[in-house]
Every structure is written in C-alpha cells, then in structure tokens.
Structure 1
Amino acid sequence: MGVMGTVSSAVAADLAAAQKPPEPAFDQEQFDQRFNQPERNWSLIVGGGGEYGPVYEGSGDFEISPIPLVLFTYGEWLAIDPSGITVTPLRHKGFSLSGKVGYETGRDADDHDRLRGLGDIDFAATVGAKAAYEWGPVELYAEVEQTIDGSESLIGTFGIGYSTPVTERLILGASAEAIVANDKHMEAYFGVSSEQSAASGLSEYKAEAGLKRVDISASATYLLNEHWLVRGEAGFGILTGDAADSPIVEEKLQPSISLFVGYKF
C-alpha cells in the first residue's frame, strides 16, 4: 500500500484532511434523519465487498471471497439480507421474538486437499427462531436454527452485541457468541467415518454434540454521505471441544476480515 501514489499526492491528502473541520458532537435527531430516515417505513442498502477468511471451518489456509450486500427492511418486522428472511412479529419493552428462513451453504470435498475423500455436504434450507432483549446499545440474544435436509444440523447461538453511533457518521459495534451444535452437525462437519478415513487418509473420528466454537468480532460503519456507507469488520472464532480435536481441523483459531461498500436508497 505504501507504494501506491507519489509523495506529493500523499502530502496533499494529509493537508486536505488536516484542513477539514472536526466532526461535530453526536446529535441523535440529526443521525435519525440522515441514516434511519424515520419518516419512511422501509430501507434498502445495495452493495458488495469481500471477506478474507478460512477456506473451510477449521482450515489453516485463507482465501478472499466476494460477497454481495442486499439489505431490505420494512418497518420493524421484516428484514431481508444475504443470510435470509427474518420476520419479527413481537416487540415489547426491549424484548423481541423473530422467525427466520435461511440456508446452509454446505461444504464441497474439492474446496481443499484436506477435504478430499470426505464427500460433499449439500446446500440446504434452514428455519429458526430468535429471542432478544435490547438494553440501550446492548442486545442479548439466543437463537436456534434447524437445517432441513443437508447436514440436518441443529445449532444454538447465545450472544451479546453492542452497537452505537459515536459521531453523526461513525457507528461502532462489537459482539461475542457461543455456538453449540447437535450430533448430526458435528458428525457432518468434523467427524470422519471408516469409509471417509479409507478415502481421505485421515483417522476415524466421532464428533459429538456440544459447544463447537466461540466468536468475537468488532465492526465500524462510516457514513460517507446520505447514501454511501463503508463497513469493516474483524473477528476471530475459536473452535472448542470435539470440533477442535477433529483431524479435519488444521487450526483452532479462525480469524477473518471483511469490507463492504453500500448505497442506501
């Protein structure tokens, strides 16, 4: 990055930044008008970006994956994003209850040399429910998700999130999650049967239900103007229990970085 551009252009950029007036203190009313636009009951953000992360869950190799960004909300009860469709029929004094229809991408045996001989895990639909409680900028939540066909996974997520605007343009967030999974999920993604062992050369391994990972992340969203925004996120997951001990896993620590640019209509 240091060789991109000349010294003169870098100095000019620094001078331009120095001449900009400091951002004003946070004004909630102005923020709502600029970003949330409460006079309108719908919102649409379209954009794209990429993520740099493990090739598969447990991989020690990393790759850049392009990710489209489409986020549509209608009132407080409907949200459509890249992970699926969420409907929230109940909100009361900070408590909310929602249902979701999404998908599980599965895993292909040719994604990585270490997966060869293990077979594919099919793409499948998921259904789930989430209970959450918001206390100011803090959200506590518990979510359960069932995969229909495919791996037939049942996954539970327990987490805490924090998100707050610190200026009229900058929003900071952080989250921590604990993820538990049933036997079928653990066997599909971390187990090695006798047939798979013979085909892959990995040792036989039986993975049982339990806590499979803990995730921690931090994010920043910057509003360039009324329509354009940039969002970055960095985090890492720690595989635990039977997932961490699987011969499929190369690294227990699973870091990732993502960057998105979006246009808000």
Structure 2
Amino acid sequence: MISRNARALPAAALLILGLPHGSAGAEPDAGLAGSSLILGLGVGAGFAPTYEGSKRYEFVPVPAVSLAWNDTLMIDNTTARLVVIRTPWLQAGPLAAWRPGRQQDDDHRLKGLGDVDDAFDLGAYARIGFGGWSASVSARQDVIDSGGVLVGFDTGYELPLSESFSLSIGADATWASDDAMSANFGVTRRQARRSRYDEFDAEAGFKNAGLSLGASYALSERWSVRAVTGYERLLGDAARSPIVKQGGTADQAYGFVSVTYRFGL
C-alpha cells in the first residue's frame, strides 16, 4: 500500500516506483522468467504536497509493493489490473484501486472543510506499447461512496542506456467527474461558514496534467534502485478552487527514491 500523504502522486510516478512497465508485451526479467508469481518489496521516500493543491510540502515514506502472477494479474501499490486481452502490443482488462482520501488535519489550511473519505474504485484499462514506448487509458468509478469517476491518460518512453541503467519520461492527464471534483476542490455553504474559503461549485473537467522523469539502476538481478521526479499542473475548476487559489497553488511537484527486491515463487 502507499502512504495516504502521497495521494497527489500521479499514476505515472507510481508505476516507476513499482514493477518495470515497458511495452505492453514485455517479458519477465530473465532471472525470474521461470516463476509464475513475482513479488517486489521495497521502501521509498521523498517529498510531496500535504494535499492536492497545497503549496506546502512534507517528507513522505512510500512502500513500493508489486505483484505479477503468470503475467496476468498485476498489482502496483494501490492498483490491481487483470489482463484479459493480450497481443504483442496491447493489454486490456478490468482494474480495482484504492483511492486515499484527505483529512482536514493534514494541513491547517484545510480546517473547516472536513475529511474526504477513501474510495474503492472499479473500472477498466487499455495499454499499448511498442519497444520502449507505451500509452494507456483507464476509467474508474468509486463503488463505496460518492468519490466519482476518474479517467486517466498517460504515456511514456523508457530508454535503456546500459544493461543496468535506464531513463524514462512520462506525461499524464486526469479527467474528473462532478463528484470527484466537488469532493477535493468544492466548498459547500456549510464548509464556507466553517473555513476561510468562499462557497465554490467545482464541476467536471480535466483536473491535472503533468510530466515525470524516472531513472532505474539494477544493483543485481533482484535488487534495483528507482527514482522519479515530476511536475503537475492543476487545471479547470481544480485550479480555480479557493482551496487552491487562496490556500495553495496549482503548481505541484514531487520526488521519490525507492529500493526494491524482486523474487519469484
């Protein structure tokens, strides 16, 4: 699982911290090719905003946990994907994901807004890849509460510079429904009375877009070090929200390093 405080980290960065995610038809590492179950356990740390839209940053510990079963079930930190359609260049299927919420105690600027509950999402994804390039789209709906719908887009390119070292660059964007935008960026009349912010109705639209840069170094067949840094820009009503305009900023940055051990069963 991933720390609640890292909720602002985009999916592209989480993938870099989890299993390698080259082309859609990528094969397991040679040393683990005979294993039907491949686990990755690691520890990561870095910095991230205290909440999505915050201008204040904090140190964030991030466990890096991954699982691949028969190259069919993939779990990377908070997201599980099942491959039901597979070609040399395409993977597609259902997904399930935990979406961490927000607590008003995370930052004094959130006082009076109340907590945003965690969400459990169900949805689907499709991913294509050729060589080092890949792109994916996913749609997910909270099935527990009113967390709304998120549609994510990401693309990236991985460039091997040696047998041990590779660089990757990525871009991502997220569209959010009315419920998803309201939960994180809206201010109800009741919240406005209790907080420093004016009432604001956050409507559906693109929530953010960003770029990320990652690096991976294989210390051995099973041990690896990964790093990722990136920039996200809040868009639309997310950027116009008084929570962001008065108490934070639409410009978001993050950076993490993780060490991971992978083994097969």
Shift of 1:80: 1.9
Query: In the aligned structure 1, how far is the partner of 2:162 from the partner of 2:60?
Result: 31
Tell me which of 207, 230, 241 is aligned to 1:212: 207
What SS does structure 1 have at the residue aligned with 2:51?
coil
Which whole-Å deviations, capped at 9, do the CAs of 1:92-129 have from their partners, x for residues lacking one? 23111121111111111111111111111111211121
Larger mean CA deviation between 90-99 and 236-245 belongs to: 90-99
What is the deviation of 1:34?
A: 6.0
Structure 1 partner of 2:11: none
Please give the root-mean-square deviation of Cα atoms over the aligned residues, in Å. Answer: 1.6
Q: 1:1-39 CA deviation, whole Å, 9 max, x = no partner?
A: xxxxxxxxxxxxxxxxxxxxxxxxxxxxxxx89666323
Q: Say if 2:186 and 2:241, in contact at 8 Å, map to a contact too.
A: yes
Does residue 94 of structure 2 align to residue 99 of structure 1?
yes
Which of structures 1 and 2 has the bigger CA Rg?
1
Alignment of 1:157-236 (within 5 A): 157-236=152-231
Instruction: Give the aligned length.
Output: 234
Checking the alignment, whether the CA contact within 8 Å between 1:140 and 1:160 is kept in structure 2 is yes
**2:118 paired residue among 123, 127, 136:** 123
Q: Extract unaligned runs of 5+ from structure 2.
A: 1-26
Query: In structure 2, what residue type is equivalent to 1:54?
Result: P
Aligned identity (percent) is: 34
User: Moved runs in structure 1, 4+ residues, more than 2 A?
Assistant: 32-42, 149-152
Distance in 1 of aligned mates of 2:252 and 2:261: 30
Secondary structure of residue in 1 paired with 2:82: strand
Query: Counterparts of 2:219 and 2:85 in 1: how far apart (Å)?
Result: 33
3-state DSSP of counterpart to 1:139: strand
| TM-score (structure 2 length as normaliser) | 0.84
Larger relative contact order (CA 8 Å, sep ≥ 6): 2
Find out whether 1:256 has 2:251 as its counterpart: no
In the TM superposition, 1:1-265 aligns within 5 A as 37-249=32-244, 250-265=248-263
Q: Are the aligned partners of 2:31 and 2:221 in contact in 1 as well (CA < 8 Å)?
A: no
